[in-house]
Copies of this chain bind each other. A is one copy, B any other.
Amino acid sequence: MRIPLNLESPVPLYQQIQGFLRTQIESGSLPSEMRLPATRTLAASLGVSRITVTNAYADLEAEGLIYMRPGSGTFVSPTQGATYPMLKSRDRASDWPLWQQELLSRTWLPTYRELESLLTQVTHPEPISFTAGLGALEIFPVEEFRKTMNTTLRREGYRAFEYGDRAGNPTLRATIAHILTNQGIPTTHNEVLITSGSQQAMALVAGLILRPGDIVVVESPTYVGAIDLFRSLDVRLLGVPMDKHGMIIDSLDEILQTSRPRLIYTIPTFHNPTGSCMSATRRRRLVDLASRYDVPILEDDCFGDLRFEGRALPALKALDTDGNVIYTNTFSKVLMPGLRIGFLVASGPIYEGLIACKHASDLVTCNPIQRALDAYLSVGRYQAHARRTCRLYRQRRDAMVKALERHLATDVRWHTPRGGLFIWLHLPEGCSANDLFTFAGKEGVTYAPGSLFFPGEREQPFLRLNFTINQPEIIEEGIRRLGRALDRYLASDDKPPNQRPRPVAI
């Protein structure tokens, strides 16, 4: 126990010890029935005589704050918790230091907070949730991974707990390069950087390239984690409108002619939240525009391997002959999000810069998990698991599409996605997915309202449904509830009669 003693203070040491312990006990920081250090131990650790500690303890016992149990030690008496002891108590932001108040004025409301505040409206006791951004839990290869982890740790011993290679485990990088090459993205292991999920890959690229005030082009709508990341860096977002073939490249071209963005962020395949796939022609044009306007592209391919049907389209990285595309992917969607293993692929001088940023951010990614994943992963095993996953997700997508056809009003629209996790619903004109949320919460169903994906625009007629996390019967029941909620909303006075959605601007 480290007790702050002031040797120059006129207050005797035993009273300082006693005062410190009293505050801690009264505040609940030292919980009741917690055993205090033996007087000898505490005296040695504080560099005071034992009698000093004994005196402090005796007074605290007299006050009833602690008690001795003969033969077993000294314990904190049962007390009631209070506020934080050492800090002055503060109710208002203005009670905190000025620098903290200034931070408050600069920080943004993260999208997860927006969603949380919506979720507090849910009154139904057992709501069915379509809000999540991850896949079905029951298909995680947990038991196989546990065994591999155990064997790996037994074999590697302490080597598994060293820092490991700065760019990530070399054989894991080689396997990743192999998987990518096999999928038409020619890659060598020394272009691969292992990261803590693809979120970190994005954060490293953004942190290296962007400075406050820079302009970033994103699809509109786009992934909430990207919105939060870019906001945290004080950069300006410009949204490019989308249709069912992805980002509208003519609009991008116009933006590139008038602004000088420092980065283009895109999810070309099974886009989050819309589920759309950028057409092959647009992919080529996008890569050409990046070269022409000298702008790097950050390609987020985290859903690319969740393809249920249709032709595989080339990754932007596979079309890039100049070194403008930085590719990111993750094992969170096909394997398990809790692993926190993602990666990026970058060619050219930027690769070394990204390793330096990774090292400055958190040194390296968790070594034992990397080693276990390396032992678990082979090209064949990854692809087999991806196929199993796609089979399951495809069934669930079909279940949701059927349920939507059955239970939702005819003027609700969607494009059936050919992969990924999400269906993007377009409500009748004038509807607000945020207003509908209240009705849905009462009926017992939740979703991710479109406003989250278009920052700055609150009322949106769009909403995102995750079709992978629930079993077909639950999907059926959830969509039935959504249908009822929509009927009530449309019949209510809440529905703004003629509000036009403006899905393009951010």
Contact = CB atoms under 8 A, between A and B. Distances in A.
A187 B29 contact: yes
A60 interface: no
A339 B84 contact: no
Which one of A7, A161, A367 has the greatest number of beta carbons of chain B within 10 Å?
Answer: A161
A376 interface: no
- Interface centre among A23, A24, A146, by most B CB within 10 Å? A146
Contacts of A197: 362-363
A130 B379 CA distance: 40
A142 B161 CA distance: 8
Given A140-B158, A366-B339, A321 B2 contact: no
B29 A359 contact: no
Contact of A228 (B8, B231, B359): B359
Contacts of A85: 186
A291 B166 CA distance: 38
Given A340-B363, A362-B196, A150 B160 contact: no
Contacts of A196: 196, 362-363, 365-366
Given A225-B360, A311-B47, A1 B186 contact: no
Interface string A355-390: 011011111111111000000000000000000000
Contacts of A295: 99
Interface stretch (A89-97, A121-129, A241-249): A89-97
B146 A154 contact: yes
B212 A211 contact: yes
A209 B103 contact: yes
Contact of A360 (B104, B232, B321): B232
Interface stretch (A66-74, A345-353, A428-436): A345-353
A289 interface: no
Contacts of A134: 162-163
A318 to B, nearest CB: 5
B160 A347 contact: no
Interface stretch (A106-114, A441-449, A451-459, A491-499): A106-114
Q: Which one of A157, A284, A323 has the greatest number of beta carbons of chain B within 10 Å? A: A323
Contacts of A154: 146
Interface string A19-37: 0100110010111000000
B195 A362 contact: yes
A318 B24 CA distance: 12
A162 B347 CA distance: 32
Contact of A312 (B46, B178, B229, B349): B46
B158 A138 contact: yes
Interface of A: 1-8, 20, 23-24, 27, 29-31, 45-47, 84-88, 90, 93, 96-101, 103-104, 107-108, 110, 112, 134, 137-138, 140, 142-143, 145-146, 149-150, 153-154, 157-164, 166, 178, 181-188, 195-197, 199-200, 203, 207-209, 211-212, 225, 228-229, 231-232, 234, 262, 280-281, 284, 291, 294-296, 310-315, 318-324, 336-340, 347-350, 352-353, 356-357, 359-369
Given A86-B321, A225-B363, 4 more contacts: A29-B181, A137-B158, A146-B150, A225-B359
